Structure 1
Amino acid sequence: MPLTSNPRPKDWASFAPFAPFQGESPRIRKVQAHDADDHARNLTAWEQRYDQVTRGPFHGTLTELRMPAMQVFMEHTSQAVRQSCCVWPDAFWFGVPGGANTAGERSGMNARINGRLGDADTIMVRPGNREFELLTPADYAIYGIVIKRDSLLVTASQLGCRIDWAQLERAEVLHVAESARLACQQTLARLILQGRADSEGQPVASVACAEQAVMLAVLSMLDASEVDSAVSNSFMRRQRIVARARDYVLGHRDQLVTVPELCERLHVSRRTLQYCFEDVLAISPIQYLRLIRLNGARRELRERCSDARTVRDIAADWGFWHFSQFSSDYRKLFGQSPSESLRQRMH
């Protein structure tokens, strides 16, 4: 079902821009990180936690621009990452995949939002103050747009767009016209990526024009969009099983939780558990159990470990009783030893 019903054709070019921003001009902000959780904290005003999924050293880059009515950014992550995200209240987030990867090519894999797989013809959307989960592949780039709800509503009204706001708040994946998606990508690229080698800290010349361009690009996509609402009851049940499994593992982090134990606790067969994880997270339960504990151990080594606690103490806290195996698995996933992570924190 389309999101908009238009009483008259829209004249996008004649749309009056917002009043000029009063105060200091917003500036382009660029940051890099070599840890997934550090990277998650770099995005302003979001509540996030990232778990690294694929093996190797992590490198993340973020180019961000904040304006009075919106936040625009370009994010690149070198490894596959499971992201738990929550946008600031009274806003909408739009995720537009398809930015160039490090080879200058479009990523061949797509992200999942709450377990739902997007494709080349879709964008992602979630309202503010509502947690959602992303699973992004390795070498992945995405444009993000967060717009204040009231600003989007006012602009849509000025343009004659009748958006079903209740439907938009429930949506996760939107099918959009290719021309509108490409135009949005080009708008964002011009705004935050052109001249990025020498634009660090430079003010944006015209905030009003920048906000107008982004708002028009987003509404152009919404104007020709269709909500992908085909979520079966069986898929929602699989989502709930995966969420319950995660809660159980984190609630018993000092124990070596096994797949048979999870099956018993969740009252499902091993085959059902396997299907649930493959469908929602595209990994097996065994992989997930190992990844969530390794990422938890790394987080504690880097952030909350007191000087009196050793690497072995932290490993035991996360159910790793065979220290040599823990060290080997840790190095394979993160590209460094647990002791190297601890030294980074101490310095």
Structure 2
Amino acid sequence: MHQLDTSLRRVAAQDPDDLARNLTGWEQVYDQITCGAFAGALDELHLPGVQVFRERINQAVHQVCRVRPGALWFGLPLELDESRINGRKAASASVMARPGGSAFELVTPRDHDIFGVVVSRELCEEGAQRNGCEEVLGAIEGAEILRVDPAARTACLRTLASLLGEGGDHAGASIEEAQHCVVDALLLMLGASSIEASTLRSEQRRRAIVAKARDYLVEHRDRAVTIPELCEHACVSRRTLQYCFEDVLGISPVVYLRRLRLNAIRRTLLEDGARGIGRVAAEWGIDNFSQFSSDYKKLFGKSPSAYLRSASRGPDR
């Protein structure tokens, strides 16, 4: 019988997108938004119908994520980790949830530490039938944040940690036993939840304003876009733009737009460094190379050329 230890994988990464690419079955883009060298770690158990992982990141990151269709994702940040999902802050004793096949956004803080679970809908439905709680799955459709009983959440976290080899008694479990164990722990936790399902109209408006500003910057990436220009495009005041960015992303529009540009340059250089740093920077509206180099080093902990050299050597494993 196939045992769990052969399905466990542990990865360390010094680049945001390298960490994002290592999560099996996900489409993700990570933009670093706090300054300093990046360090991330991933422990993953990938089974036919269940994926359990623990992700740790030292810097704050803006993430655009999509999990495979036909599955459900649940995220359990550890204590004091005030992550945002689609602009909404996940409080303690809560669980984030999204269906597969549709993109969602996370803003994760410094020293981010989260357990994640991806479960096929089929397994969830079988488990709900087995446990006589079919109404639980119907209730979470469309939810982003679930407030759950703290004790049930702690028990679920203990189960997930055990499956990832952090103590516990699941080391000798079979794949079928492990999958049942995960589904049962999730359903027990979700059965004691208070669901914040529908996003308020004001929250939707703030998210739309942020998305409009970000799209405008990308469309006009060959020049420096000003805040007054963004306000005019989004038809809002400077104060409203500031409030929307701080509420949805946790940082000001000036800082976010600067870091969005730097992350895009980093990503392009890693994909095609032969194009040259100066050329790629110019394509993103950078006209002061000295300031750009200083800002890049401040954000990522290395100059553009040093970052390229370290990336070409590959991450430590």
Query: What residue is the counterpart of 1:335 in the other structure?
Result: 301
CA distance in 1, matches of 2:204, 2:142: 14
1:114 counterpart = 2:95? no
Question: Max radius of gyration: which structure?
Answer: 1
**Corresponding residue for residue 59 of structure 2:** 79
CA contact (8 A) 2:4 2:175 kept: no
Identify the range of structure 1 (113-122 vs 230-239) with the bigger mean alpha-carbon deviation.
230-239
Distance in 1 of aligned mates of 2:150 and 2:139:
21
Shift of 1:343: 2.6
| 1:31-74 CA distance string (max 9 Å, x none) | 11100111100100100000001111111100101112111111
Distance in 1 of aligned mates of 2:189 and 2:311: 44
Partner of 1:95: 75
3-state SS of paired residue (1:45): coil
**Cα distance, 1:310 vs structure 2:** 2.1
In structure 2, C-alpha distance between the alignment counterparts of 1:137 and 1:25, rounded to whole Å: 31
In structure 2, the residue matched to 1:277 is 245
Question: Matched residues in 1 for 2:301 and 2:280: separation?
Answer: 18
- 1:253 deviates by 1.3
Task: Please point out which of 19, 25, 34 is paired with 1:39.
Answer: 19
Tell me how far 1:336 sits from its aligned partner: 0.1
CA positional deviation for 1:195: 6.2
Query: How far off is 1:294 after superposition?
Result: 0.5
Task: Answer yes or no: is 1:70 the counterpart of 2:50.
Answer: yes
RMSD: 1.9
CA shift, 1:121, in A, is 1.6
Residues 321/220 of structure 1: CA separation in 2 closer, same or farther (3 Å cut): same
Give deviations 1:68-110, integer Å, cap 9, x for gaps. 2111111100101100000000000000111xxxxxxx4x341
Q: 1:345 to 1:32 in 2, by over 3 A?
A: closer
Displacement, 1:205? Answer: 4.1
Deviation of the 1:345 alpha carbon:
4.9
How much identity, in percent, do the aligned residues show?
50
* Secondary structure of residue in 1 paired with 2:116: strand
1:177 and 2:149 aligned? yes
Q: Is the 8 A contact 1:183 1:217 kept in 2?
A: yes
Give 2:114's aligned residue.
Answer: 142
Residue correspondence of structure 1 range 176-325 to structure 2 within 5 A: 176-194=148-166, 205-229=173-197, 231-305=199-273, 307=274, 309-325=275-291
**Hey, what's the Cα distance between the residues in 2 that align with 1:24 and 1:110?**
31
Letter in 2 for 1:244: K
Task: Specify the code of the residue in structure 1 equivalent to 2:119.
Answer: I
Question: Once superposed, which parts of structure 1, at least 4 consecutive aligned residues long, lie more than 3 Å away?
Answer: 23-26, 164-167, 344-347
Residues in 1 aligned to 2:99 and 2:48: alpha-carbon distance in whole angstroms: 18
Structure 1 residue 204: deviation in Å? Answer: 6.0
Q: Single out whichever of 318-327 and 223-232 deviates more from structure 2.
A: 223-232
Preserved CA contact (<8 Å) 1:75 1:142: yes
Relative to structure 1, the CA distance from residue 74 to residue 327 in structure 2 (aligned partners, 3 Å threshold; closer, same or farther) is same
In structure 1, runs of 5+ residues without a counterpart are 1-19, 99-105, 197-202
1-structure distance, mates of 2:279, 2:311: 16
Q: Secondary structure at the match of 1:163?
A: helix
SS of equivalent residue, structure 1 residue 63: strand
Q: How does 1:8-19 map to 2 (within 5 A)?
A: none
Give the aligned partner of residue 158 of structure 1: 130
How far is the alpha carbon of 1:168 from its aligned partner?
Answer: 1.8
CA distance in 2, matches of 1:195, 1:314: 47
Q: TM-score, normalised by structure 1?
A: 0.85
In structure 2, the residue matched to 1:199 is none
Taking structure 2 as the reference length, the TM-score comes to 0.93
| Counterpart in the other structure of 1:128 | 100
- 1:250, distance to aligned residue in structure 2 (A): 1.3
Amino acid at match of 1:320: I
